[in-house]
Structure 1
Amino acid sequence: MASLTSSSVSFKCAVLPSSFNSKNHGLKSSVSFWRANQVKPRGLSISCAAKPETLEKVSSIVREQLAMTKDATVTGETKFSEIGADSLDTVEIVMKLEEEFGVTVEEENAQTITTIQEAADMIEKLQNK
């Protein structure tokens, strides 16, 4: 059995009322371990997931920008590339997000966004500054 020399722990968090039931709201946490011969980032990564209403608004903006139907399935894990967004579409989505949420996204941050969840998380991070 190979020994582990690297590990990663990821958490998603949110401010929730004490009566909140995580099983009914799909909250996830994960712990990942890698074998010694795999190259993975080291350290602990903790991030707070965006509020459901932010995620829904971002999803709505993405659907609108890509001319998708309102009932098209788009989740936080949906990658822009999976729903047909090219680099120009992504730039337009970021511009619309800036307009709708009243934030400014730096170009280097915009280039790292690959999923709906990442976009929503970034929006909330910028709003909290």
Structure 2
Amino acid sequence: MAAFTTTAAGSAVAFARPAKAINVSSVSFAGLMKNNVAFTLQPVTQRFAVLRAAKKETVEKVCDIVKKQLVLPEGTDVTGASKFTDLGADSLDTVEIVMGLEEAFKISVDESSAQSIATVEDAAELIDKIVSNAK
């Protein structure tokens, strides 16, 4: 058990970390000073992301389609993490990329899903999801 000691205006307060976790909503320290010190602990939401990587073949095919649609110079590096906007695509280019993906993969992407595509990986994941749901 770890102990921590804090002194304020000559008074000492000792804390001990319990062996079990406890849920504390607020902690107050009252000293011999005019002002009291108060700390409020607020719960922090845990953020977990489920990473679902697209198939390597899908990402590579999407990269090729994006290069072709945006007429990128030979040697331009396009990876799963590449953002369409970083590659110079505007909203019309993104629509054309989605149309090219629909044609190449023989799928249909609804408008709300199309708006969530920002990277090559986003597009590849969506394609894999649509293809696996179609089976």
TM range (shorter): 0.5 to 0.7
Report what 2:128 is aligned to.
Answer: 124
Residues 1:94 and 2:133 aligned together: no
Shift in Å, 1:69: 2.8
Report what 1:6 is aligned to.
Answer: 45
TM-score by length of 1: 0.68
**Aligned-partner residue type, residue 104 of structure 2:** E
Residues 1:82 and 2:86 aligned together: yes
Q: What fraction of aligned residue pairs are identical, expressed as a percent? A: 46
Shift in Å, 1:61: 0.2
Which portions of structure 1, spanning 4 or more consecutive aligned residues, are displaced by more than 2 angstroms?
Answer: 1-4
Q: Quote the Cα distance in structure 2 between the aligned partners of 1:8 and 1:97.
A: 31
Shift in Å, 1:4: 5.3
Question: Which of 100, 104, 108 is the equivalent residue of 2:108?
Answer: 104
Q: Quote the Cα distance in structure 1 between the aligned partners of 2:108 and 2:127.
A: 9
TM-score by length of 2: 0.65
* Number of equivalenced pairs: 94
In terms of Rg, which structure is larger?
2
Report what 2:76 is aligned to.
Answer: 72
Where 1:7 maps in the other structure, the secondary structure is coil
Greater relative CO (CA pairs within 8 A, separation 6+): 1
Shift in Å, 1:104: 0.2
